[in-house]
Amino acid sequence: MSTSAQKDEPCLAIVGRSIAGLTLARHLREGGYDSSILSFESEKCEPYDRPPLSKELFGNYFHPLAEEGYGSLEDIGARQIDETVTHIESITSTFTSAFTRTEAENSSLTTKIETSAYHSYTAEDAAYTSGILDASTRTNPRWRLTTAEGHTFEIHTLVLATGTRPHATIPGARVLYSASDAETLRSQIGKGSCVHIVGAGWIGMELASQCANVGAHVEVWEASPHILGRSFAGAVTDIWQPFLRKAGVKLHLATPYPGGLNCDVLVQATGASPTFPLPSHLGIRSARGAVAVDVWGRILADATPLTHSSPICQAIFPGLYAIGDCADTLLPTGTWNEGGHWMSALHGAARTATHLLGTESSLRFLEAPEIFSTQFGHEIGFVGTVEPHARIEREETEDSLILRWFTGHTLRGLLAVDAPRALARARKVLRSPLPNQEV
């Protein structure tokens, strides 16, 4: 079945009801966009905050974003379609250079893309480069969506806000991603329960803490030799081990889960991967598998250095964006600003909204990647990145602990355990000015 209403009126679709998707919809309405917004999500409920699912599993874990002050899709006037988008295809089959026609002609991108597809970003072309939701430019559909339920939608502007999905490869294991997952685990775990957790990452540690707090017998298996190894490459294992011992959690490092063990609940917490219904030939991917976008959230078709010393030339798909956990930002310098955290979702959505509306953004910085966690009685935050061969400085008091990562004299990352002021200072130091890039 084809839905043709979108051919007759301007339409924007947001796939995924994440904090990023809701924030974008709210900013668009506040900025004066009054046409149709479609919101696709197979989970039939209003957007809610996912971090509390693991941080507050046995408490008030369900936090609707409307109650947190982020607005609701109903109040925004978005049409909620409770279906899963499984396929996206281009109707126009064109894309555009984010730099000038001259630069495009001189770059190796022209071997892949017809030069005529590039667009020179001049003042006269402002309606094309920014503010594409202006009524005069949004009448023709560019993208066709197909859902698992067999419906198709043709829309002008498409924004992916689909987040990540947890790895689910162990037979019989549960995962924690949705509110229904949390409710199932709550119903099966209590005092005296035997809980096996596979994975000593952030979710695994939060789950171990929560389950131990209610009196469950908890064991954690981690195939690598480290706790939080993907984040810290072994630098924090000695910090976390006493947390687990004090909570009565048994830890098996450098030990894959053997299977065949008796337990009441088996949970897989071995990480998550970005997910989006985008064919592999559309766009490029970051190292973690996220879709690559520019600072305005536009999905990049390609990115090739113009010369060894100049910025990269970024080619975009008109009317195709990604925000939140499913996207990583590729800067003109060729460096990445990784998504997958709360602040990048909020700020990325705000930047995309200003680009779509053609208004000036009040945001002047790219926030550094940030993680916050509550576990084993501690408030934990990390901001920045852990670079290979970085120098680590440790500051410890009776009540707090701070690790700092440096390359030379430059701070690259900071871990704060019960040290919120240090985290707030580092957050300001580690943010970077937005590139001086045409919109």
Average of pLDDT values for 388-405? Answer: 96
Question: According to DSSP H, which parts of 189-228 are helical?
Answer: 202-213
Q: Which tokens go with 372?
A: 């916050």
Evaluate if residue 139 carries a pLDDT over 90. Answer: no
Top pLDDT among 308 and 263 is at 263
Average of pLDDT values for 204-220? Answer: 98
Per-residue pLDDT at 6 = 40
User: Tens of pLDDT along 367-395?
Assistant: 899 999 999 999 999 999 998 899 999 99
Residues 155 and 90: their CA atoms lie apart, in Å, by: 10
Q: What is the DSSP string of 52-76?
A: HHHHTTTSS--EETTTTTS--HHHH
- Please state, in angstroms and as integers, the Cα–Cα distance from residue 304 to each residue in 95, 141, 259, 284, 317, following that order: 15, 28, 46, 11, 15
List of E strands, 284-400: 291-293, 298-305, 312-322, 327-330, 336-337, 365-366, 370-375, 378-384, 391-396
* One domain for residues 133 and 101: yes
Among 47-56, 114-123, 208-217, which range has the highest average pLDDT?
208-217
Residues 419 and 141: their CA atoms lie apart, in Å, by: 50
Overall size of the chain counted in residues? 439
* One domain for residues 266 and 240: yes
Share of the chain above pLDDT 90, in %: 68
Residues 79 and 94: their CA atoms lie apart, in Å, by: 28
* One domain for residues 78 and 154: yes
* One domain for residues 135 and 180: no
Residues 48 and 65: their CA atoms lie apart, in Å, by: 5
Residues 156 and 140: their CA atoms lie apart, in Å, by: 6
Closest by CA to 207, choosing from 230, 188, 225, 231, is 188
Per-residue pLDDT at 94 = 52
Range of the domain at 139: 2-163+274-363
Closest by CA to 360, choosing from 131, 21, 138, 100, is 131
- Asked if 337 and 331 count as a contact pair (C-beta separation under 8 A), the reply is yes
Per-residue pLDDT at 138 = 55
* One domain for residues 323 and 418: no
* One domain for residues 100 and 207: no
- Please state, in angstroms and as integers, the Cα–Cα distance from residue 414 to each residue in 114, 315, 387, 403, 408, following that order: 45, 34, 12, 6, 15
- Please state, in angstroms and as integers, the Cα–Cα distance from residue 15 to each residue in 79, 140, 269, 321, following that order: 12, 19, 25, 10
Top pLDDT among 183 and 124 is at 183
Average of pLDDT values for 172-196? Answer: 97
Query: Would residue 95 count as lying in a domain?
Result: yes
Residues 48 and 46: their CA atoms lie apart, in Å, by: 6
Query: Would residue 41 count as lying in a domain?
Result: yes
**Domain stops at, among 363, 396, 416:** 363
Per-residue pLDDT at 313 = 59
Q: Which tokens go with 306?
A: 């113009």
* One domain for residues 9 and 135: yes
Share of the chain above pLDDT 70, in %: 83
Top pLDDT among 115 and 321 is at 321
- Asked if 279 and 89 count as a contact pair (C-beta separation under 8 A), the reply is yes
Q: Which segment of 43-52, 262-271, 403-412, 417-426 scores lowest on mean pLDDT?
A: 43-52
Query: Would residue 438 count as lying in a domain?
Result: no
* One domain for residues 392 and 262: no
Q: What is the DSSP string of 313-340?
A: EEEEEEEEEE-GGGEEEE-TTS-EE---
* One domain for residues 21 and 34: yes
- Confidence category of residue 170, pLDDT binned at 50, 70, 90: very high
* One domain for residues 377 and 324: no
CATH number at residue 117: 3.50.50.60
Evaluate if residue 141 carries a pLDDT over 90. Answer: no
Per-residue pLDDT at 281 = 75
Q: Fill in the DSSP letter of residue 78.
A: P
Top pLDDT among 432 and 23 is at 23
Query: How many domains are contained in the chain?
Result: 3
* One domain for residues 157 and 286: yes
Top pLDDT among 438 and 68 is at 68
- Confidence category of residue 311, pLDDT binned at 50, 70, 90: low
Residues 129 and 98: their CA atoms lie apart, in Å, by: 9
CATH number at residue 427: 3.30.390.30
Per-residue pLDDT at 251 = 98
Q: Fill in the DSSP letter of residue 108.
A: G
> β-pairing, 265-268 with 194-198?
parallel
* One domain for residues 27 and 159: yes
Per-residue pLDDT at 408 = 95
Top pLDDT among 260 and 118 is at 260
Evaluate if residue 4 carries a pLDDT over 90. Answer: no
Query: Would residue 439 count as lying in a domain?
Result: no
Residues 20 and 327: their CA atoms lie apart, in Å, by: 11
- Asked if 139 and 156 count as a contact pair (C-beta separation under 8 A), the reply is yes
Evaluate if residue 202 carries a pLDDT over 50. Answer: yes
**Domain stops at, among 221, 240, 270:** 270
**Domain stops at, among 270, 299, 329:** 270
Residue with tokens 């339409």: 11
pTM of the model: 0.86
Q: Which tokens go with 14?
A: 């947001």
Q: Which tokens go with 385?
A: 């990145």
Average of pLDDT values for 73-102? Answer: 75
Element (H, E) at 214: none
Average pLDDT over the chain, rounded to an integer: 85
Per-residue pLDDT at 383 = 96
Average of pLDDT values for 227-246? Answer: 97
Per-residue pLDDT at 304 = 58
- Confidence category of residue 436, pLDDT binned at 50, 70, 90: low
